[in-house]
Amino acid sequence: MHTQVTCPQCGTPYTAEIHQVIDSDETPELKARLISGQLNIAICPNCGAGGQMTTPMLFHDAAHEMFIVYIPQEMNLAYEQREQIVGQLARQVMDKLPPEKRRAYMLQPQTIISMQTFMEQVLETEGITKEMIQRQQKQLELLQKLAQADPDVADYLIKERIGEIDETFFAMLQQYIDGAAQAQDNKQMVALTNLRAKLMTETEIGRQMEKRQIALHGLNREAKAQNGLSSELLLKHLLKHAGDEGVENALVMAGQPALTYQFFTLLTAEIEKKEKAGDLAAADKLTGMRTRLLKVFDDMQAQSQKLLADAEATLQAILAADDKDAAIQANAAKIDDAFMYVLSSRIAQADQQGNAAEAQALNAIHERIIKQAESQYPPEILLLNQLMEAQDEAAQQKVLDENAALLTGELVQVLDAVMKQFEDAGREEVNGRLRDIKKLVEARL
């Protein structure tokens, strides 16, 4: 919904977007914005002044049976007015839910008047407890102190509060460094960078992080040089760090796709080699690593099986629905890479088995999904798709003729952005075609 705002600074009236209902399942993007403090922000188009708007909000999380309404204290509402707003928001949610999804806890939403308490509850659904938030606040305070402290005070603080200097602390420090760089605050940036260098060498956690970073860097560099990651390569780097669980984990997380049956065959061969050579200590160390990695591998398998099973269930629900488009829309959040993978393999399977009716039904769903996705793309992206799909240059020129109105500098900007994305994803082969398209577009500007 939109609301009329008058800028407190310059008096300009403008409209701002307001969201009052946030649902973990239905609108995860709103929840993410709420958590990062980017929800219900009004910015004056005239002078740029603005900030978070004061508005009631209802938050729903089905998994945690959480149904809470925030009524800002500063709105100074009487009891009846508050109850009225709570009732209205709760009804908005209930009316949208099919009857079978309505639950008893929704009949009595909890009213909260402090934004801090409201956010604590929201964060709890993400597994972030009040204690964790308090710890982070203390860490932030330590970080600010350290950034301004004289060397001897800093030494004292680091020693005194070493327990608070963990990976979260380093992540916060990095954010501050990035912020200072963006604000071109060189003095602050140098101070913070020095602080990080000091902590990296003087704390155990810092030294571990540095070791992990060096190990990861080595793996990435070699993978890039060899045009990709292989089981052999992952093993080679893991062997160098066997027994150091922190580094093992970092390497395996980065090299997940290479953690395969083939990998374990190679590792087992390596262990046998050590045993034959009589180096039992080394064999033991590697066996310990194999046990840990097998656990990671099993977890990964279980996770991907669950993803596939969920995707299969979503597909069945869409297939069973009378109104396919509505079903696709209702399940939009679940239509992800895993879903598309399941859908494509089911189509291939149906084709192979000669099951024409099923293949047709599945293909129809595939088409509807693509159509719905495309209808949300900006026209420039749709035009690029058309140009990529065109058979030859003549066909491309025809597409350009039909879309003369879109041939602007903006299209070139979109092209550059898309090319950058492919470049980052290591898909240079696509960019060759895009560069040719860019030439055609620029020739017409």
Kindly state whether residue 7 participates in binding Zn ion, applying the rule CB under 5 A: yes
Tokens of 392: 């030859």
Q: How many residues sit close enough to Zn ion to count as binding (CB under 5 A)?
A: 8
CA dihedral 57, 61, 66, 70 (to 10 degrees): -10
Member of 25, 28, 37, 47 binding Zn ion (CB under 5 A): 47
Q: In what side-by-side order are the strands of the sheet with 66-70?
A: 21-23, 57-61, 66-70, 110-112
Q: Which stretch binds Zn ion (CB under 5 A): 41-49, 79-87, 271-279, 326-334?
A: 41-49
Residue 8 near Zn ion by CB under 5 A: no
Find the part of the chain contacting Zn ion (CB under 5 A) among 1-9, 108-116, 394-402, 413-421: 1-9
In the complex, the smallest distance separating the C-beta of residue 380 from Zn ion, rounded to whole angstroms, is 31
Our CB check for Zn ion shows the closer of 48 and 243 to be 48
Stretch that binds Zn ion, among 21-29, 45-53, 222-230, 405-413 (CB under 5 A): 45-53
Q: Is 44 in the site for Zn ion (CB under 5 A)?
A: yes
Binding track over 49-78 against Zn ion, x by CB under 5 A: x-----------------------------
Q: Does the footprint of Zn ion cover residue 46 (CB under 5 A)?
A: yes
Q: Does 15 bind Zn ion (CB under 5 A)?
A: no
* Least distance (Å) between residue 54 CB and Zn ion: 17
Least Cβ distance, residue 74 to Zn ion (angstroms): 21
Q: Is residue 10 close enough to count as binding Zn ion by CB under 5 A?
A: yes
Q: Which stretch binds Zn ion (CB under 5 A): 11-19, 274-282, 301-309, 320-328?
A: 11-19
CB of 75 to Zn ion, least distance (A): 22
Give least dist CB 20 to Zn ion, A: 24
The residue (of 51 and 378) whose beta carbon lies closer to Zn ion is: 51
In a 10 Å sphere around its CB, with 0-12 CB exposed, 13-18 middle and 19+ buried, how is residue 199 labelled? buried
Positions in the binding site for Zn ion (CB under 5 A): 7, 9-10, 12, 44, 46-47, 49
